[in-house]
Structure 1
Amino acid sequence: MRGAVWICDIGPGPGQHGGELLFSGPVHDFFAAGRSAGSHEGTPRSRTAAFLARAERPPRPAARRPGDGLLLLRGAARHNLQGLDVAFLARAFNVVTGVSGAGKSSLVEELIERAGRGALEASPRVTKLIAVDQSPIGRTPRSNPATYTGLSDVVRDLLAATPEAVGRGFGKGRFSFNVAGGRCEACGGAGVQEVGMHFLGRVDVVCDACGGRRFNDETLEIRYRGLNIHDLLETTIEEAQVVLGGDGRAARILSTLNRLGLGYLRLGQPSTSLSGGEAQRIKLASELSRPGRGHTVYVLDEPTSGLHAADVAVLLSALDGLVEQGHTVITIEHHLDVVRAADRVIDLGPGGGPHGGQLVAIGTPEELAACEASVTGAALRGGGNGAVPTAVAAGLPRPDPAATARPITFTGVRTHNLQGIDVTIPPGQVTVVTGVSGSGKSSLAFDTLYAEGRNRFVESFSAYARRFLDKPGDAEFDQVSGLTPAVAIRQGRPSRNPRSTVATMTEIGDYYRLLFARIGQRDAGKAGSRQPAVGSDSSPRRDACDLLPTAYRLPPAATVHLTASMFSPNTEQGACTACKGLGTIVECDPTRLVTEPSRPLDAGAMDGHKAGRFYGDPFGQHVATLRSAGRARGMDFSGPWVELAPGARHLALRGAGDEEFDVEWEFKRGARTGVQRFRSRWVGFAGLVEEEYARKHADHRGEALEPLMHRVGCRACGGTRLKPERLAVRVAGRHIAAWLALTVDEGLRLLAAIARDPDGAGLSPRDALVSRDLRDEVERRLMRLQEAGVGYLTLDREAATLSAGEAQRIRLA
């Protein structure tokens, strides 16, 4: 914010208490103003100015809590972590910090994964672990804060208990817009109806039957304290405390939501309209409102992301309350006020990616500030006095009315809670829209400026093209000028699809595939000799069989022309047949299957999971088959797992291949006993789990087996995701998987070397000419990534492993 040129401050409060334009002007004037004149219920009108001037600050603890026990994580080596041993304080507030890409998310994910399978060393014992992230609480408008927190059940119970409802025989289901009977059947409880406009797409119009109230007239006649179900869902959380405060369940949920600064939200506000920070606080409120029992570990991922400093103070108060109740809080965070409030700080670094993954410092914030090697410690020592930074004071580029385009000007903006404000945004400058949560920032930036800019841009398309484009919504304002098409980069977690990588997110992978299709070459097997691949622009047509390893050669008459799709792991032509282009395969993890190694396999060694208990049943056919295989191989499985020889363990887990054994199964099922004799192969306990997972993984039944599974690199392709014949094609001596395995920085150096000496890189003059534009475009995109500070990332890095900060910078680049 201090690095901006123009500030738009919206407030003074959230929801109906906000929507005013408190300040719009140069950053110098904003800092000079300090606090705006006037007050709002005793609060300075500009909370932003107050916090920047340090007139207001989040509270700091009077003393650091020593904790009561430890949560020990030993040998953490996920992603870039370098075998770390980390001790979190139990019943205290722990903060994991460090530069982007240092390994913070990886460390916490490892802790969550180990706790989930009971492999976390913890004293006192962890009763429950709750991870609270910023993912949406629902993906349809039918989901809302009331449904997520369980408050809707309370509201429906109260309405169903009224004398009018009892007299008419209405149950609580009558007051759900998801259930036939009480809802408006004309719109299905949606409140709107979709109207097809042929080539103009679909438009939502308010339902004529219910007027957007979602319920039929009979249901709306039932009232609780003068309000029907529609009225109750339209009340804010703050207002609902007055109406529903008499019910203990409702009071507990509403007070928690209000305490987290969400009093401005409506009970029935669609989840699709909530920000990531609001969704995270609703999740936290849902957990806080439940009576706590035992020792719970709460894990939060950057909970202050997008929060105003005033809301950070509210969040810290709630987290402090959890610790006071005897629970443990672990959060990934960069916000210095949160770091200063911690009882223990775990600082990772010193850099990102391969330069990170080390434990730089661990201790109190004061100890971290004294650590010279810690970047976070340096920031803590710097403090901050609210002054405008030197770069801004020295003069960043300023608007020049004579040399720049017209400013963007909106008048009378009334989108959502905005109260008819007039806003001017200078062109070609950095403008920051700020204010407390719920004040109307997103309403102005995304739902007005971006939405209107996109709508006007879309109007230039044909009617046929417009039907395929989503409409971001209609902004409400009187007049606008100077508006141009806008690009929106929202907060959000990266894709969890294992096929999504840095290369696919940036489209660099597409350019690499085209590069290989145009100038790819193969090694002819002779020193210093390289031959163009079939389909290369620089070559005469060659026999396709020369392209492939011997095992993959086609008949001489066949001809293969290289296309970009052949180098994609997402197509049948390119994907490794063993892993289907994923680069990994799912296998049963023996350490997760054998949970009690001090016991024999048929006496509880696998009892930590339902599947293990089934396969390890001493009277089951699987144990009987193992015993038969053991007798044939001279192995005894009656002893504890830890005492079995390596060969016996391999036989028990991985089986005996295609060899068949004579099995005598003495079964026992309740009172029924007997003997069955049959001949069968033994695939091993891990093989049995994998076969079952293969049958069920596509539906919900496979979820039960997921705790036993883990991903390992595909042995067929070595994790490259591609068929061997695709890896035989090379550019500059590397196959495409090797190009993608380079970091952004390494890729730039390779392209620079090719540009300096194409012949030395194995490119003919024609290859160099054909690929020049492609290489230039890739270089441009790589430079954008480098400028965004993610030069350490490899292009084949899965999107699911990126931190939220890394993903956002990639989208920005």
Structure 2
Amino acid sequence: MNEQGGNGRAAQPPELFEEAYIEIIGAREHNLQDIDVRIPRNKLVVITGISGSGKSSLAFDTIYAEGQRRYMETFTAYARQFIGEMERPDVEQITGLSPVISIEQKTTSRNPRSTVGTVTEVYDFMRLLFARAGEAWSWKTGKKMVRYTEEQMREQILHDFSGRRALLLAPLIRGRKGHYRELFEQVRKQGYAKVRVDGEILDIVPGMQVDRYKVHDIEVVVDRLRISPERAERLHASLQTTLKMGNGLVQLLDPDSGELRNYSRHLMDPETGLSYEEPSPNTFSFNSPYGACPHCKGLGQVNRVDLQRVIPDDSKSINQQGIVPFGEVRDNITFKQLRALAKKYGFTFSTPIRDIPEKALNVILYGGEKKEKGQKSELAVTMSYASQNEYVYNLAYEGLLNMLQRWYENSSSEKIRRWAEEFMVVDTCPECQGMRLKRESLHFKIDGKNIAELAEMDLSELAEWFEGLEERLSERQRAIARDVLKEIRLRLGFLLHVGLDYLTLNRPARTLSGGESQRIRLATQIGSQLTGITYILDEPSIGLHQRDNHRLIEALKELTHIGNTVLVVEHDKDIMLASDYL
């Protein structure tokens, strides 16, 4: 082992020798031949050599393994019985070893929910930024959402409806099915006489209910008054009652013109009354039900049945397994339904799939036409039993593609799910267009961008966007966002420093190469600002363009400058020349 630029060993005072070096005595792990090594601490040290020379045996199987073993020994005996004992590496003695962190070449995570943004925590800080400083826009009208205090609400109502008669309405039900008999009775007992149901003012009568199968909007008429400054006290009292009943939402209706306006303590579209929940960091998390797209559950992709896999060869018949998921013809309910379809539409199980009438094939694949409530399916299926009796049932046919989708999504059997998956392809989610978040979350914006659009930028472009962001924010937003922006810029800087400027935050972690994963972990460690650590890296230059080598070297040097030892197993000439010890 040679130190670059001179023999540092002789320069060390004897009393500081053990503190200045990691000393390995008698290392015999794998193909190491009882070697002794002294490695200077708080330096960039490169371990190089031909294949099989013992580089990894020294770095990982000896130094890292001993560091892990010592860490495990800090646990109580009770805890160690669950972890298991770690075998001591084949070495006489190691002294001067600080806590060890290995940054190896392996994919960061196989979890489909893990991305560059979540692994590096940049996305977590962006979620915090959007929760605090994001501006909400209506997904219905594209207008900016507003919220009022009670005082602002009162002043706005006096301005909007001055001199006009108005009904104060407290929304109770919005876009939901049900008969609401109990709700009407409860409102009647509270002393209210009128409600507005689906836009129509009605008297509340005992036993009142609505069609349970239709979607309804129901508001209580809390007060009817002429809006003027002279009636400000009455407006104030009625407004308080309405806000309490309507959970912070008030509607004012001009009975003469039909004009309806919405006012809310929450984020609301003043034109349509659409309201959003108060944003939190989870609102922008695709790993949380509060933020994830409900259709793809935050994955950005969905599995859908592929007709080409279901019918790969339409010259075959059902008897020839032309519709693959059906398999061989059997005597079960599915084939009884198919026989009933064949009888109804005039084909047989020997008819090539391409010659089956189009309407019949559509029913086989997608199911029969929807029937009105109370009507039975027209598909008559004959069922015979051991008693020799035959019965004819009117059964609805779900459709093969619908069945496959249902089995894949709802089956508790992993075997059935895997079988159904054979007939599926992965598609971009049609609801969120691959952005993973629900539509409300995608309509919170900063400087015209939502969080998913930022996650699609490459890191160099994203860093540039964040660089001048304060100038484009309001004074309130700047005060809120200052500390969060500092953390985001810091982490993006570390990622750019290790040559990852081409990645995007929404890049799945499982698609990263070993070298990319290693450099991400390196950037994360630099960001953690830990000191007194021994870092061990395995060929971090792999997959890195030669022009970005200097950035990687600077990052490795940065770790040593803050008081860490960096051991690198490497063949790259530039890194070897830049090392403090080789």
Range class of TM-score, shorter chain: 0.5 to 0.7
Q: Give the distance between the partners of 2:104 and 2:59, measured in 1 at CA.
A: 11
Q: Give the distance between the partners of 1:646 and 1:517, measured in 2 at CA.
A: 52
Read off the aligned partner of 1:685 and give its amino acid letter: L
Q: CA deviation at 1:397?
A: 8.1
For residue 784 of structure 1, the aligned residue among 488, 491, 494 is 494
Q: CA deviation at 1:522?
A: 0.9
For residue 575 of structure 1, the aligned residue among 286, 289, 292 is 292
List aligned pairs for 1:216-365, cutoff 5 A: none
List aligned pairs for 1:172-571, cutoff 5 A: 406-415=20-29, 418-426=32-40, 427-434=42-49, 436-437=51-52, 440-454=54-68, 474-523=88-137, 543-546=265-268, 553=275, 560-571=277-288
Map Cα deviations across residues 348-370 of structure 1 (whole Å, 9 max, x no partner): xxxxxxxxxxxxxxxxxxxxxxx
Map Cα deviations across residues 316-351 of structure 1 (whole Å, 9 max, x no partner): xxxxxxxxxxxxxxxxxxxxxxxxxxxxxxxxxxxx
**Retained in 2: the 8 A contact 1:447–1:475?**
yes
Q: Give the distance between the partners of 2:123 and 2:81, measured in 1 at CA.
A: 29
Q: Give the distance between the partners of 1:550 and 1:527, measured in 2 at CA.
A: 8
List aligned pairs for 1:155-166, cutoff 5 A: none
Q: Residue 367 of structure 2 aligns with which residue?
A: 655
Q: Residue 584 of structure 1 aligns with which residue?
A: 301
Residues 786 and 626 (structure 1), Cα distance of their counterparts in 2 relative to 1, 3 Å cut:
farther
Q: Provide the TM-score with structure 1 as the length reference.
A: 0.42
SS in structure 2 opposite 1:711?
strand
Percent of matched pairs sharing the same residue: 33
Map Cα deviations across residues 593-623 of structure 1 (whole Å, 9 max, x no partner): 213222234543124xxx3315xx3865435
Q: CA deviation at 1:710?
A: 2.5
Q: Give the distance between the partners of 1:732 and 1:464, measured in 2 at CA.
A: 54
Residues 682 and 461 (structure 1), Cα distance of their counterparts in 2 relative to 1, 3 Å cut:
same
SS in structure 2 opposite 1:710?
strand
Q: Residue 612 of structure 1 aligns with which residue?
A: 326
Q: Give the distance between the partners of 1:754 and 1:625, measured in 2 at CA.
A: 63
Read off the aligned partner of 1:690 and give its amino acid letter: Q
Q: Give the distance between the partners of 1:25 and 1:432, measured in 2 at CA.
A: 11
Q: Give the distance between the partners of 2:270 and 2:352, measured in 1 at CA.
A: 50
Q: Residue 742 of structure 1 aligns with which residue?
A: 457
Residues 435 and 550 (structure 1), Cα distance of their counterparts in 2 relative to 1, 3 Å cut:
farther
For residue 420 of structure 2, the aligned residue among 705, 711, 730 is 705
Paired residue total: 399
Q: Give the distance between the partners of 2:139 and 2:294, measured in 1 at CA.
A: 26
Q: Give the distance between the partners of 1:524 and 1:695, measured in 2 at CA.
A: 33
For residue 731 of structure 1, the aligned residue among 443, 446, 452 is 446
**Retained in 2: the 8 A contact 1:397–1:429?**
no
Q: Provide the TM-score with structure 2 as the length reference.
A: 0.56
Q: Residue 764 of structure 1 aligns with which residue?
A: 474
Q: Give the distance between the partners of 1:675 and 1:553, measured in 2 at CA.
A: 57
Unaligned runs of 5+ in 1: 1-23, 27-395, 535-540, 555-559
Read off the aligned partner of 2:307 and give its amino acid letter: P
Q: Residue 215 of structure 2 aligns with which residue?
A: none
Read off the aligned partner of 2:119 and give its amino acid letter: M
Give the root-mean-square deviation of aligned CA atoms: 4.6
Read off the aligned partner of 2:63 and give its amino acid letter: L
Residues 590 and 452 (structure 1), Cα distance of their counterparts in 2 relative to 1, 3 Å cut:
same
Q: Give the distance between the partners of 2:298 and 2:132, measured in 1 at CA.
A: 22
Residues 450 and 488 (structure 1), Cα distance of their counterparts in 2 relative to 1, 3 Å cut:
same
SS in structure 1 opposite 2:105?
coil
Residues 524 and 572 (structure 1), Cα distance of their counterparts in 2 relative to 1, 3 Å cut:
closer
**Retained in 1: the 8 A contact 2:293–2:432?**
yes
Q: Residue 505 of structure 2 aligns with which residue?
A: 795
Read off the aligned partner of 1:658 and give its amino acid letter: K
SS in structure 2 opposite 1:723?
coil
Map Cα deviations across residues 371-407 of structure 1 (whole Å, 9 max, x no partner): xxxxxxxxxxxxxxxxxxxxxxxxx888867799934
Q: Give the distance between the partners of 1:526 and 1:683, measured in 2 at CA.
A: 33
Q: Give the distance between the partners of 2:147 and 2:103, measured in 1 at CA.
A: 40
SS in structure 2 opposite 1:786?
helix
Q: Give the distance between the partners of 1:783 and 1:713, measured in 2 at CA.
A: 31
SS in structure 2 opposite 1:658?
coil
List aligned pairs for 1:139-178, cutoff 5 A: none
Q: Give the distance between the partners of 2:387 and 2:49, measured in 1 at CA.
A: 73
Q: Residue 403 of structure 2 aligns with which residue?
A: 688
Residues 525 and 440 (structure 1), Cα distance of their counterparts in 2 relative to 1, 3 Å cut:
closer
- Is 1:598 the counterpart of 2:315? The answer is yes
**Retained in 1: the 8 A contact 2:500–2:516?**
yes
Unaligned runs of 5+ in 2: 149-247, 249-263, 524-582
Q: Give the distance between the partners of 2:341 and 2:273, measured in 1 at CA.
A: 35
Residues 744 and 800 (structure 1), Cα distance of their counterparts in 2 relative to 1, 3 Å cut:
same
Q: Give the distance between the partners of 1:549 and 1:424, measured in 2 at CA.
A: 74
Residues 795 and 533 (structure 1), Cα distance of their counterparts in 2 relative to 1, 3 Å cut:
farther
Q: Give the distance between the partners of 2:8 and 2:141, measured in 1 at CA.
A: 62
Read off the aligned partner of 1:586 and give its amino acid letter: N
Residues 529 and 580 (structure 1), Cα distance of their counterparts in 2 relative to 1, 3 Å cut:
closer
Q: Give the distance between the partners of 2:308 and 2:411, measured in 1 at CA.
A: 22
Q: Highest relative contact order (Cα 8 Å, sep 6+), 1 or 2? A: 2
Map Cα deviations across residues 197-223 of structure 1 (whole Å, 9 max, x no partner): xxxxxxxxxxxxxxxxxxxxxxxxxxx
Q: Give the distance between the partners of 1:586 and 1:516, measured in 2 at CA.
A: 30
Residues 728 and 648 (structure 1), Cα distance of their counterparts in 2 relative to 1, 3 Å cut:
farther
Read off the aligned partner of 2:377 and give its amino acid letter: F
**Retained in 1: the 8 A contact 2:122–2:491?**
yes
**Retained in 2: the 8 A contact 1:521–1:533?**
no
Residues 550 and 526 (structure 1), Cα distance of their counterparts in 2 relative to 1, 3 Å cut:
closer
Q: Residue 390 of structure 1 aligns with which residue?
A: none
Q: Give the distance between the partners of 1:595 and 1:471, measured in 2 at CA.
A: 54
Residues 549 and 476 (structure 1), Cα distance of their counterparts in 2 relative to 1, 3 Å cut:
farther
Residues 773 and 448 (structure 1), Cα distance of their counterparts in 2 relative to 1, 3 Å cut:
farther
Map Cα deviations across residues 101-138 of structure 1 (whole Å, 9 max, x no partner): xxxxxxxxxxxxxxxxxxxxxxxxxxxxxxxxxxxxxx
SS in structure 2 opposite 1:408?
strand
